[in-house]
């Protein structure tokens, strides 16, 4: 059994005067150096497999995060056969694996990540090894788009400073939103992970100006002490030029928007 790293908090025991600044009579003041003791607080060990990590291994997925997507999809009905889906931050490939089974042979899943997939790509999958901040969405649109669903499970390498980690997560989410703006069809959906913090509400407000409905999702498989949440934006509002394509897409889907 591996031991978790410990953090030490130093506290002091001392005798002080009362509120008036006077030491009560017949009281002894301890003039010796303050005594101290240490409180040991164990940090969670994320490397140790938990229930969802073991479940992912049993079902042949490379990462436990697949159950976050599975839960949101089960409740919101995001995926269906024949869809085109863009997965940003796709490595090690668990979300792509889940999505390729959901969209089927007529669908397409395109994944983007700097890190490689840990498995061979399936027939209905395409993987692009690239930095999203350097990748031009234009060729993706002309070659594979428009997309019905854009997903981002991207996160910065955290440094343990809550504010800094939050602002960096928002910067990545804003880049993912640029892809959604450029590549989503009218009526499409966007799912993005962020850390909660000072800019959370302003980012959510930006989504509300682009989509018909925005929801906050905290899947059960997210670690309880994590500040991560997912913002789910449904029904991309299209421009006038996109309107005819959106109407055609709704007719193709039988008048349904593609979520419940």
- Positions marked catalytic: 193
Residue 250: how many CB atoms within 10 A of its CB?
A: 15
Euclidean distance between the first and the last CA atom of the chain, given in angstroms as a whole number: 45
Query: How far from 208 is each of 39, 86, 204, 217, 249, CA to CA, in Å?
Result: 45, 21, 6, 15, 22
Rounded Cα distance between 247 and 170, Å, is: 32
| 215 alpha carbon, distance to own chain's centre | 13
Rounded Cα distance between 204 and 215, Å, is: 9
């Amino acid at each position: 059994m591996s031991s978790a790293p410990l953090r030490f908090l130093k506290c002091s025991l001392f005798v002080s005067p009362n509120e008036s600044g006077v030491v009560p009579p017949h009281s002894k003041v301890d003039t010796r150096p303050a005594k101290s003791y240490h409180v040991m607080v164990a940090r969670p060990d994320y490397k140790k497999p938990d229930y969802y990590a073991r479940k992912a291994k049993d079902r042949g997925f490379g990462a436990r995060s697949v159950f976050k997507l599975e839960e949101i999809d089960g409740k919101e009905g995001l995926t269906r056969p024949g869809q085109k889906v863009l997965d940003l931050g796709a490595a090690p490939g668990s979300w792509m694996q889940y999505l390729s089974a959901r969209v089927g042979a007529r669908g397409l899943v395109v994944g983007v990540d700097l890190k490689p997939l840990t498995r061979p790509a399936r027939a209905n999958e395409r993987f692009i090894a690239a930095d999203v901040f350097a990748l031009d969405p234009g060729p993706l649109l002309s070659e594979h788009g428009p997309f019905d669903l854009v997903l981002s499970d991207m996160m910065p390498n955290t440094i343990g400073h809550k504010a800094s980690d939050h602002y960096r997560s928002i910067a990545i989410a804003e880049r993912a939103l640029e892809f959604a703006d450029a590549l989503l069809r009218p009526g499409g959906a966007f799912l993005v992970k962020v850390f909660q913090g000072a800019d959370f509400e302003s980012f959510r407000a930006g989504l509300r100006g682009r989509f018909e409905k925005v929801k906050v999702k905290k899947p059960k498989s997210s670690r309880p002490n994590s500040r991560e949440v997912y913002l789910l934006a449904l029904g991309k509002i299209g421009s006038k030029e996109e309107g005819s394509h959106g109407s055609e897409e709704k007719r193709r889907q039988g008048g349904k928007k593609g979520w419940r």
